[in-house]
Structure 1
Amino acid sequence: MDATVSVKTEPDNAVVTRDEWHDARLKLLELEKEETHLRDKVRAARQALPWVKVDKDYTFDTPSGKRNLADLFDGRSQLLVYHFMFGPGWKEGCVGCSFMADHFDGTLPHLSNHDVTLVAISRGTLAEIENYKKRMGWHFPWLSSNGSDFNFDYHVSFTEDDMKGDKITYNFREIPPSEGYEELPGLSAFYKNENGDVFHTYSTYARGSEETIGTLMLLDRAPLGRNEAQTMNFVKRHDEYEQKPDTTASSCCH
């Protein structure tokens, strides 16, 4: 991914009076309200999706030993799985997935206390995952599906034969392998009932989980927006930016 930033040197927005700005802002507000109402409609349709019972037994490597899918709920009824692009033999995780994962730790107390468990799952070995996780300073649960069909069944990992074929299935459509990688990102949701039955309720891929990335949502409200030449081409791993954030500064936002 090209991590260079394409910066606008001079925005071309009109400069108007406060009253003119207010009128323009009211027009935008109507659009924002439409977006909110549409988002509510999409959310309701998402939660009304039918479910599929998961009958296949998946095993994952975790720091506390082997666990199956039902174990990952950790006493809760809902499970969110982020399919993190980190394949066997990789030294670093995908830049975009790492950007996403930077937002996880702060959500954990809130999700956990709302009956939702969040984990990341990758095909890299647990040792590889733990090394990168330590480098990034993350604390969220990150498990290995190495040796399991999990990633393949949820269409985020692809075999060598898949990549040599005419097409792979990703984001609910068939694409040429040249448009993808052997590992791709996604987010899946599961529910476990009182009998211990597990159901697959939802999956989204590509830009489908973009709204969960708080940094992007904030940038969308900044004067220059995302200011990107390609999708997220400005993003680097957080320890690769030339100017590190000042972690010693005191702020009411901390």
Structure 2
Amino acid sequence: MTLTDHPTVTRDRWIADRKALLAREKELTQLRDRIAAERRALPWVRLEKDYVFDTADGPRSLSELFQGRRQLLVQHFMFGPGWEQGCKSCSYMADHLDGMALHLAHRDIALLVVSRAPLSELLRFRERMGWQFPWASSQGSDFNRDFHVSFEPEDRQDGEVYYNFHMTAFPQTEAPGISVFYKDDAGAVFHTYSTFGRGVEVMMGTYSLVDLTPKGRDEDGLSYTMEWVRHHDRYEDMPPAPASCCGADKA
């Protein structure tokens, strides 16, 4: 089925088909709610390492980055040492953060973006992109490797690394992800959840709207490589699409 050869029907037939699809959408909504409950019920892991990050306010531990809240949502942003700029797909994710930050704060959730590049490079890129969210450098700590979003040569076995909870042939030294942490009254920090691969689409609200349209993502033949995405200040010229910076295991 294509846009140029798409069926056209009467309004009554459209309503009938739409109601059938609505039933399926309700099934998906109910399944999503059940999975969300299962996610909240997952056991936690208490962090034993005292990770320290380089921030605009100086060195800070993970516990100090909760911004007075109990919950912390971290975007693992692909930006390695020496990179010219951050990953375009991670930038697409990050474009959604500033608008959500205030609302999340009122649900006791702080936002933090973490990358392995030096802080000066992160802040320079953040200024270029016009973002306001806090961005911390994990360079010099084990944070990225412990959460399996940065890979050293010794992490590869037969060309594969441990990513998205299994061994896979991920092509880059940095990978995208989202991790969630909770801090109790005693100051102990717990890792409660992480998602990788296509799981990071929860941060891409634009996709939810694109999925409502006839053309959709135009990615069916691209294995969801996001080749159409550009840094938001680079759409005008639209150079030939490069390979996705995070296109590996997309499931």
Tell me if TM exceeds 0.5.
yes
Percent identical across equivalent pairs? 52
Tell me which residue corresponds to 1:238: 232
Task: Give how far 1:129 is off.
Answer: 0.3
User: Could you tell me how far 1:227 is from its partner in structure 2?
Assistant: 1.5
- Partner residue of 2:173 out of 182, 185, 190: 182
- Tell me what 1:80 maps to: 73
Q: Which residue of 1 aligns with 2:105?
A: 112
Match for residue 241 of structure 2?
none
> Relative to structure 2, which stretch is displaced further, 57-66 or 165-174?
165-174
Match for residue 167 of structure 1?
Answer: 160
Counterparts of 1:128 and 1:9, CA distance in 2: 44
CA distance in 2, matches of 1:58, 1:11: 55
1:222 to 213, 238, 241: 213
Distance 1:51 1:164, change over 3 A: closer
In structure 2, what is the Cα distance between the partners aligned to 1:57 and 1:224? Answer: 47
Deviations 1:5-27 (A, max 9, x none): xxx98443210000010010011
Deviation at 1:240, TM superposition (A): 0.5
SS in 2 for 1:49: coil
Letter in 2 for 1:219: V
* Cα separation, 2, equivalents of 1:114 and 1:137: 25
SS of match in other structure, 2:182: strand
Range with greater deviation from structure 2 (10-19 or 31-40): 10-19
Deviations 1:190-249 (A, max 9, x none): 0000000000000000111213211100000012111124222211110001179xxxxx
Alignment partner of 1:105: what SS?
helix
The answer to whether the 8 A contact 2:177-2:200 is kept is yes
Aligned to 1:55: 48
| 1-structure distance, mates of 2:19, 2:93 | 32
2:176–2:200: 8 Å Cα contact kept in structure 1?
no
CA contact (8 A) 2:76 2:178 kept: yes
Q: Is the CA contact (8 Å cut-off) linking 1:96 and 1:235 kept in structure 2? A: yes
Partner of 2:136: 143
In structure 2, distance between residues paired with 1:9 and 1:32: 22
Q: Which of 30, 36, 45 is 2:38 aligned to?
A: 45
Q: Which amino acid aligns with 1:180?
A: P
Q: Take 1:243 and 1:17, find their aligned partners in 2: how far apart are those partners?
A: 41
Q: Partners of 2:237 and 2:168 in 1: how far apart?
A: 38
Within the candidate set 207, 213, 221, 2:198 is matched to 207
Contact 1:163 1:182 in 2 (8 A): no
Q: Is the 8 A contact 2:73 2:179 kept in 1?
A: yes
Residues 82-122 of structure 1: CA distance to partner in whole angstroms, max 9, x if unpaired? 00000001121001000000000000111112110011000
Is the aligned partner of 1:103 residue 2:96? yes
Equivalent residue number for residue 247 of structure 2: none
Give the superposed CA RMSD: 1.6
Give 3-state SS (helix, strand or coil) of 1:190's partner. strand
